[in-house]
Structure formats: C-alpha cells, structure tokens
A and B are shown apart, each in its own frame.
Chain A
C-alpha cells in the first residue's frame, strides 16, 4: 500500500507515521525520546516509526559520530592525530612544561563513565608506570582533564609492527630475517617476563601494540590496559554479539573467555613473531566463526610451510609457543628470551618438547579420524627424508650451503655499499639538476658474483642478481626521469613494479634489488614538478628504504621531505642536522643540495624538483640548514620562481607563442606541441599543468571568465592561479600584460582568499603598470612583511610612483631579510638603473642619487641597517 507508483511524489497523502518521522527529521522531536515513548506502544504506526528510526540509526552510524578533537588536554597541546583504535585515540601532543613531544592516549568516553573501571584503570596505569624496561614504551603521566581519562607515553619515532608487516606484505617479501627476528623479539619476551613477575598481564600482545623504533628495536606499548578494560569489552561483546579485539592473536583460552596466565601472553607473542618472520598468520579463517574454530581446534601452519628453510630451532620455539594447552608452552618470558638469543647467535637450543608419542596420543584422543592420517603422514615423512638425504648427498650439501651463504653475503654488501648517497644515475640530477658521477658497479662485488657463478653455474639467481645490480630495471623510465618528464616515468615505473612483483617466486634477492630501484625511481618521479605528489613519494621511498636498509639515498630524500613538510620546522631541521652530522660527507652534501633545491634555490637550471611553496620564514630555516651541511655557499642559482628543467622547455615554447600572437598557424602548432608535452609528461592537476592552459590566455587575451579545461569546465582555482603564474614567468611587456587585466580581475574577485593570490596579483599589476599595483603590492607586503620578494615588489611600484622614501625603506628591508643580501642588492641596483633610463632627467634626480648610494655598497660588507637608515 505504501508502494504506489508515485512513491514520494508531492501529491501523495502522508500517513501518520510519515509525518511523525518527518518531525524527528526536522529536529522537532528527539529520536531517543520518540523511541522511548513508542517502545511501550503496540500499534502498527509505532512499529513503523521505530523501524524507520532503526534505518536512520544504521545510516548515521555508518558516517560516524563527530569526533571531538580538543585543542588542549590538561597541560598537553594537541598537535596531531597518531591513530584511533577501539579503546581510544592517540594524539601527538606537546607537553608544555617539559617541552617535549609525547603520545597521548585518550580513552573513549564510553570507557570513562564507569567508576569501577576508572579505579581499575588507574591501578593498572600505576603498575605499568613502575615497569622500567628497554623494551616497554614508558608511561610518563596519567590523569584526567575535561572528563577524559588519558595517559602520556614516550613518543616513539618509527612505526608499529603491523605497519612494518603490511609494508613487507605489499612488496611481497618477508618482514624480518628469522635470526634477526629472534634477536629483536628476545627483548620483548624479556619485557613480558618482567611484567609477569610483577603479576601484570598484557592481554593484548599483537603487532599493533609493538613499536619498531628507528634502529629496529621493538618496544611493547599499551601495557596492562586490556585488563583494565576487560569489563568494558565484555560488555561490548554482549552488545554487538561479536568478539571485540583481534582474535588472530588470542590464545585458545582467551578466545574461550577463560582465565588468562602468563603463557597466554606468550602465545600471542608467538603468533606475532610468526607473522613477523613469515608475513602470515599461523591460523586463519574466512569469518570470525571459522577463525574461532581454527584457533580452538584447527591445525596451525608451520613456519616451514610459509618460509623456505627456517632455522629449525626457531621453528621448534614457535611450535612450543603456539601449543594449544597453556602448560605445554613456555612459562616464563625470560626462558623464551634466553632461547631466542641463542638462536640469534646460532647456538644450539635444547627445547624440552613434549615427547612425540604423548602429542600423538593427545591428538588421537581428541580426533580419532586424524590418527590414521597422522600415521600416513609419518610414513610419508620418513620416506621423504630418506630420499632427500640421498639427493642432498649427491649434490654436495656443504657446497650448496656455502653457495647460499655467499648469496646472502653478496646481497648484504650490495645493500650497504658506499656511493649510495646519490641514488642511481638520473635520480639526484632529476631533482636538483646537479650532475653527479655516474654510478659504477663495485668491482669487488662484481668479482664475488663472478666467482659465485663459476662455482654454481646452474643457479639462475646469480645472473639475475648480476643484472639487477648492474642494469637499470626500467631504462626508459629513467630516461624520462632524467628529462624531468615525471608523469611518464611514473607510469612506466608502475608497470615495471607490477611486473616485478608478479615475477617474484618466494624470496628472490634479485627482484628485491630491482624493486628497490623501481620504488626509488617512482618516489623521485613523484617529487618532480610534473607529478608533485609528495605523500605518495614518501610511501615509495619508505618501501625502497625497507628493501635495502643499508642504502642512504632513500633516507636522504626522506630526511629532506621531513624537513620541508614538517609541522615544526625547527625541530625537524635540528633532527635532520643531527642525523646528517653522524653520517658520511656524501650524505651531508646530498642532503644539503636537495634542501637547497627544495627551498626554491635551484643550483642550476636543470632542476625538476616540485615547488614546495615554502613561506619565507621556513625557506630561511631550510636554507640555513643546507648552508651548514654544504659548508660553503652553493653554486650560482636560477632566480627563485623562474622555470627550470622541464618547465623551462615549456616556457621557451610558450614565450615563442607570446611573440607570435598575430600568427594563428604558428600558434596552433605551438599549442599542439605544448599540449602533447603537458598531456604526456605532466599529471593532470599538478601545478606544472598550468603550462598546458597558458595557451588559452595567449590565444584569446580578451576573453573573460574563468580558465576552462578541455570539457569547458572551470579549472580548479589553484590551477588557474598556476596558469597566471606561468604567464608572469614569461615576463610579458606591460602593454601586452594589460590585455589580460580584466580577466585576471574576474579571477581575483572570484577567489579572494586563495593562497598565493596576493603575490600573483601584485606582480601582475606591476607588470601591467596598472593603477592598482600599489594597492596590491601593499597588501602583499603587509601579509608577508618579512618576505624580501614582497618588499622588492613594493619597492618597484613605489619607485615608479615616485615615492622615493618608501621605496628606499623597502629596498633596505629587502636586503636585510634576503637570504643572499648581495644578490638582492645587485637586483635592486639593476632595477633602479633601468628605471633611471626610462624617466626623463628632471624627474630622475632623486632616483639617481639613490642608485649611487646603493651601488657603492656592492661587493662590500653590508652595513647593519637596523640602527637607522
């Protein structure tokens, strides 16, 4: 009845339920209140409205209730968000009194309301705070503010283990070497041991609760919280009917809701370690129910099923940890730590395993069907072992294992070889324009590879490694990259990465090496002006760094990104300086040059790095850091804001078009050239795409309204602004520039608050010698009073308006705040000199004097202007 053909049309009469619900939607009555009154009623209308309320609830839950992010929590200033989980939110905070960064975990309001919960939570927090261990993230503070329960932890630089595992999974490699994992986890096991001695269970050991520090150290976090929150989570389980938390890491007794012991934590640690070594979980299931079944009754994967040739002892330790019965596992974290360290040092471990007949008996008792299968498997295993033994004796086992070791050794030396500070051949040059000596393969590595090939000529991995080491895996992409055609390069790298991942069979060091080069290449390509996706670039560089931990170049570029994109640039630059000073001279020089280019001072005109548009203050900091690292003034620069690299090619084409505006045939040809270059080599939406739209300004100077894309839709304001900026870079003559003023005026009015608009407006009106030039240059100078470019612009306008005193002030301020004062002085003298020639003699007298006084300062130590003019 309620489904007529004209459902929802204007004329349809509204039922009582329709109207009642509409009232709730209008906000006239609260949904909770309506629900309460209706729940008592038995009418059809009531159940109708209730079901609509449920539907509303369903949709509203989906979009999430708004999260309140406070500015301050107690004496902590919130700087950002680190993560959100089931129990609460972790903020990055600044502790104002102690002036340090901390990670502040704030519990969800739902948990804070219950008084017994609060008491328990406080007790647990106290106990945790008393745990001092190198592998436990320390708690600094605990408290309550604005009704929020929170505690402050040390801020660990690095990522959580689950992210580390995910990164490895995405590149299809193993997160950790087995022996390395044994060493790292020994610390965590020891930490758990300490906690257990203090009668504190963790209850939620999983990769998300283990932090991987910058040096690879693991540290447990969120200690003891699970226990405090136990009550609340039990409550939530009953409400939603599902298991809350991560069942994958839960021990069988935890999954059953039975009492937990120290061995339960160690079980979870075992699962975590299994995942860290293999990238896979020992148990899995398609649904929660299936997962629960396989935790309780299923068979676990063994390490050797997922990792080729794992250390036998490690496998035994994991098997023991993952025993279904708590009593069969390790009972003490310290014992586990001791065994893990022995494994890491490749010493034998004597694990007291349950005798095999006991295990068999237990299993047989539980599942008689399995008994037969087990017997068959046993016989099969014996036969296989016998055959394998024969085979390996024939092959010469000693020789084979030496060969394997050799391969690992080669991989290590490739990973940490010197010269990696500049990346592969085209990469550094693509960003900075500075040519570096081309990458030469290390003769000693080549020698070892040759010897290895001679010893084992049948192993295809050796020539593959040789190729991966010597050859560029995506030659055409590197060529594009060298020319600054980032977008084309990115697309080729994409395809090559996909192909490399598809080719991988197991862990293949040669593919890891190619992948390293590919990710690095794509990361660099994404930092070019043609693409300009710094966050994506960061992901690529992190993956590259993960694949070759010894290589310096990805870390150098990441350091550069950290500095220019940090929230607090002073802290970031201090950190980068510290790290650089602990590194090689090559590292410092490369980082310095990259920073120098990122600050907008392109060492030579071939640089293709994206423009980070740093405000002047930040530019100064970056520049100062670059100067410290380079220890001498960098080479001559292209002027800030001038097109360099690939953009310069486009600028040359466009300025040819500007010169031949009267020749439609020539314009069409140039238009086609520019468009094909921009279309292929520049990401749509990147700032450099402005060049592609510039021709519509050049060909139709009198057109009004916004700049349009190919489909006639207005371009984004940023892209329009970028196009105007490109126009200014061509340095048009004033008479020509005036043609565009009306259209530019439209744009200004349309987007008054656009970032960077003031600068473009001031320069546009200056070039066009318009009456508004003074007004706009004033506004720009006011908005960024310490920016020398703004002062320089106002000086130019004031000189033209004969406001000599004001112009002199600006000139002095410009020199004072310039990063390179002598250069600023030279520019000022040059501009003034040009103007004196334009003005006729009686009008230029004052100006002539001023030019002279500035000219006399050229090449000398500049006076301190602050004492007065």
Chain B
C-alpha cells in the first residue's frame, strides 16, 4: 500500500508543529495560531501529494511545505497587513479549526516545551540557533546543512555539539 498523506502527516505532526512554532516566532504567533497553520499545511499536503516523487522524502517535503507556508504568512501578515486593514481583520477573525487530536495536557505540555526551547534559543548565537533548527528540528542532513552554512560536514557536527552545550546551559539541563 502506498504511503497516504494522512499517515505521512501524522508521522511528522510534532516535527511540523515545532518547525512552524519556531519559524513563526512570537510576533507572528500573536496574529495566527500555529495549530491553524499546521492545519493549512495539512490541507496543502493532501492537495499536492501527487507532486511528491519519492515516498521516503515525505518528511523533508512536508517540512519544506511548512517553511514555505510560514514564509508566505510572514509576507502576507507583516508585509501586507499595514497596507490593507481589511485583510488583517480577516485573519484575526479566523477561528481555530476543530480537530486538535491531542488532549489538553499533552498539547499544553508540548507548547510549554516549545516556549522553553524558544526562550533558551533566543540567547544563543545565530549560528548555534540555526544549526539546531536546521538539523534537529527540520531534520536536514549534515551535508545539506553544510551546503547552507558553507561548512564541511565535520564542522557542522562540531558546531552542533557546541550549540547543544550552550542550549543545555540555557535550559539548565
């Protein structure tokens, strides 16, 4: 049986939520609930599932969808909002969607942990933050991260190792 978009989405739900949450940042989250963005990514994934060529890339593909979605919202919201008040109002009136799936405790818990991570990461340097997000949240390989950050694979691992040290300090782990 081929992989269905529902299943792929479920498998990556938490990762996608983390990507959306962290990429949105506090300013954008005031305007739009990350859960709603996640829903939109799900809808987009279901609608364009056919464009996915290799099933094993589903995770990376979904992460790309999520990143693009956030980028688009950022453009629409932060760029357009000032020009067109009607549009902003339309966004505010958007009601959260029904299916939250997880119970209140787990969802709140995950949000807490995300908020904790975000707060800690704000005190990290840009490089450290980026390498953690790219490799551990978005799930890119060391080679891909290396290409983006113009480093060798070895250097990426070392950088991540140091970033985790700083993160552990900030999280008091």
Q: Which A residues fall within an 8 A CB radius of B?
A: 2-3, 7-8, 10, 14, 17-19, 21-23, 25-26, 48, 51-52, 54-56, 58-64, 66-67, 69, 71, 77-78, 80-81, 83-86, 163, 166-167, 170, 208, 242, 244-246, 490-491, 494-495, 497-498, 533, 535-536, 539, 542, 716-718, 751, 753-755
Contacts and interface: CB of A to CB of B under 8 A. Distances in A.
A754 B160 CA distance: 37
Nearest to A21: B161
Contacts of A533: 43
9 contacts: A8-B163, A22-B158, A25-B160, A52-B161, A62-B114, A163-B98, A242-B105, A246-B105, A494-B94
A502 to B, nearest CB: 10
Given A55-B164, A84-B10, A163-B98, 8 more contacts: A18-B158, A54-B171, A58-B113, A63-B137, A491-B90, A494-B94, A497-B95, A535-B43
Interface of A, secondary structure class, is helix
A753 B162 contact: no
Interface in B150-173: 151, 153-155, 157-169, 171, 173
B139 interface: yes
Contact of B117 (A7, A58, A170): A58
A2 B158 contact: no
Contact of B159 (A8, A69, A85, A245): A8
Contacts of A539: 97-98
A60 B136 contact: yes
Contact of A54 (B14, B99, B173): B173
Contact of B128 (A8, A19, A495, A753): A8
Nearest to A59: B136
B31 interface: no
B25 interface: no
A167 B100 CA distance: 12
Given A208-B103, A539-B97, A55 B167 contact: yes
Nearest to B132: A59
Contact of B161 (A25, A83, A246, A497): A25
A754 B51 contact: yes
Closest 7 CB pairs of A and B: A64-B14, A755-B50, A21-B161, A498-B93, A51-B168, A63-B15, A55-B168
A61 B106 CA distance: 12
A52 B125 contact: no
B48 interface: yes
B164 A64 contact: no
Given A8-B125, A55-B173, A69-B11, A718 B90 contact: no
A145 to B, nearest CB: 16
A495 B127 contact: no
Contacts of B10: 67, 69, 81, 84
Contact of A7 (B15, B102, B162): B162
Interface residues of B, number: 69
Contacts of A8: 125, 127-128, 131, 159, 162-163
Interface in B44-89: 47-48, 50-51, 53, 86-87, 89
B161 to A, nearest CB: 4
A52 B164 contact: yes
Contact of B168 (A52, A63, A542, A716): A52
B47 to A, nearest CB: 8
A58 B153 CA distance: 23
Given A246-B103, A753-B50, A62 B110 contact: yes
Contacts of A51: 165, 168-169, 173
Contacts of A25: 142, 157, 160-161
Contacts of B51: 717-718, 751, 753-755
A170 B100 CA distance: 13
A25 B86 CA distance: 48
Nearest to B155: A10
B13 interface: yes
B96 interface: yes
> Which interface residue of A63, A246, A533 has the most chain B CB atoms within 10 A?
A63
A170 to B, nearest CB: 6
A315 to B, nearest CB: 26
Nearest to A490: B90
A78 B137 CA distance: 29
Contacts of A58: 113, 117, 167, 171, 173
B168 to A, nearest CB: 4
A744 B155 CA distance: 43
A227 to B, nearest CB: 19
B104 to A, nearest CB: 7
Contacts of B47: 718
B102 A84 contact: yes
Contacts of B169: 51
Interface in B97-124: 97-106, 110, 113-114, 117
A717 B161 CA distance: 38
A242 B4 CA distance: 35
Nearest to A68: B11
Given A63-B18, A497-B93, A753-B53, A84 B157 contact: no
Interface string B10-51: 111111001000000000000000000001000100011011
A244 B106 CA distance: 9
Contact of A170 (B7, B95, B157, B165): B95
B54 to A, nearest CB: 10
